[in-house]
Copies of this chain bind each other. A is one copy, B any other.
Amino acid sequence: MKVLLFDTFGTLVDWRTSLIAALTDFGHQKGRQFPADELVDRWRTAYEPMMARVRTGKLPWTDLDALHRMALTELLPDFQLSDLTVAEIDQLTFGWHQLSPWPDSVQGLTLLKRKFILAPLSNGNFSLLVDLAKFASLPWDTVLGSDLFRHYKPDPETYLGACELLKTSPAEVMLVAAHNYDLKAAQSHGMKTAFVARPTEYGPHQSKDFGPEGAWDFVARDMIELAGLLGC
């Protein structure tokens, strides 16, 4: 095993808490009242079907920044925020570039980096992932964004495209993720798999991924334990 690829949103960074904080701050600064947690939960729910439309070809290739923006714009009227300016919508969308890591993420990756090549394999676009790594101090060796492949996970082009760029066989690569669907896809292409549960990712609305649901190669409580399991 030579390379560890990581799902990022949910697996390494706590998007929900970070975005609720950013939207709450925004509301205070602008003197606007709205339920930030509800907006964030609906935002996340709204962009999933948009990615599906890209996957099925109903929408041409559109990167995650643009999907985030479209999804937010559609939601704003329900929160009496349809008068936001373009700059304000951009500012909120950019919140996805500034998410806090889970407490174990940076230390775990730093340990794992001693022995493996580390990169995100995320549905985020390249620039989003680069900004996010800078903000959250994620010590990547390189970044793999979905715009390099013009496909979203779990499309095969993402997993196999990463192996092709890195010139590794799938068996030399392990995907680390908090989501069973992602590991299932990676395993189907011959990659190794590691599951790390993030049971608070969706806050009170979490309904799945509390535990491993497949024959994954490794299961760890957090990234530091994973580093230990891998001898780092």
CB of A159 closer than 8 Å to a CB of B: no
- In the complex, the answer to whether B126 meets A166 with C-beta atoms within 8 Å is yes
CB of A165 closer than 8 Å to a CB of B: yes
CA distance A125 to B142 in the complex (A): 13
A134: chain B residues at CB < 8 Å are: 117, 141
Of the residues B142, B165, B167, contact of A142 by C-beta under 8 Å = B142
Map CB proximity to B onto A140-180 as digits: 1 under 8 Å, 0 otherwise.
Answer: 11110101100000000000000001111000000000000
This protein's copies in its complex:
2
A129: chain B residues at CB < 8 Å are: 142
A123-140: which residues lie under 8 A (CB-CB) from chain B?
Answer: 125-127, 129-130, 133-134, 140
CA distance A126 to B119 in the complex (A): 12
A125: chain B residues at CB < 8 Å are: 167
A140-B141, A141-B134 as given contacts; A165 in contact with B117, CB under 8 Å = no
A168: chain B residues at CB < 8 Å are: 127
Q: Which 7 pairs of residues, A with B, have the shortest CB-CB distance?
A: A142-B143, A127-B167, A126-B165, A130-B142, A127-B166, A142-B142, A130-B141
Chain A residues within 8 Å of B, Cβ to Cβ: 65, 117, 125-127, 129-130, 133-134, 140-143, 145, 147-148, 165-168
Known: A126-B142, A129-B142, A147-B165. 20 other contacts (CB 8 A): A65-B167, A117-B130, A117-B134, A125-B167, A126-B165, A127-B165, A127-B166, A127-B167, A130-B142, A130-B166, A133-B141, A133-B142, A134-B141, A140-B141, A140-B142, A142-B143, A143-B143, A145-B165, A148-B148, A148-B165
